[in-house]
Amino acid sequence: MRITSFPNFWLLLALVTLIAIYPAADQSAGGRAFLALYDWVILFLALRASRKAWYQPWLGYAFAVPAMVLYAAVALFDHAELIAAHMLAQIMFHGFVVVCLLRYMLHDNVMTFDELFAAAALYVLAGFVFGYCYALVEHVQPGSFYINSPNNPDNTTSWWDLLYFSFTCLTSVGFGEITPVSDSARSIVMIEQTTGVLYLAILISRLLTMQRKV
């Protein structure tokens, strides 16, 4: 079986690669330009991976096109309202893909290799969804998150900080150097923590149920 028949493998690989290269690439203008292009590639791969669960072909494009357009607009124009709209569009698109991958993973009693990749990609994408949610909260209500001084020498809360924080909540690790301060931030944290635990429980339960049927 060809690896090209596993679209979720490429999506998962692209997401993990982005996490690995982001700290180094974000240090220069050229690196940030590369990250912008690479994010477009991820949007395309996510769009492609979610197609197997669509009922209407136009639905994915309805979420993807605004996300792509607003991403480009934010790179050109630094307006607060535009940044907020960009983050909201990213939340909606990535959330749509998460739902599609969940439907794809649960639609039958056979767990294929691509569905296993979809399960992993879904988990990583969920971290990105909540990361954008935290970024939106911080953008609308500055100071919603507190980072300990030794871990935040420049006294700024970046998207990368909040993405990292999102994954610590999703996996229930909670190192403690980043703390939600506002009520809105704490609400989203509680939702993400519950989501992470429930998803793993559902996934394990499904795999065990399928094993019994074999």
Kindly tell me the burial class for residue 77, based on how many C-beta atoms sit within 10 Å of its own C-beta (0-12, 13-18, 19 or more).
exposed
Q: What is the model's pLDDT at position 154? A: 84
Q: What is the model's pLDDT at position 72? A: 83
Question: Tokens 């949610």 label which residue?
Answer: 133
Q: What is the model's pLDDT at position 211? A: 59
Q: How far apart are CA 131 and CA 68, in angstroms?
A: 18
pLDDT under 70 in the chain at which residues?
1-4, 52-57, 108, 210-214
Q: What is the DSSP letter of 171?
A: T
CATH T-level topology, domain 3-213: Helix Hairpins (1.10.287)
Residue ranges per domain, the chain? 3-213
**What are the beta bridge partners of residue 145?**
180
Q: What is the model's pLDDT at position 116? A: 87
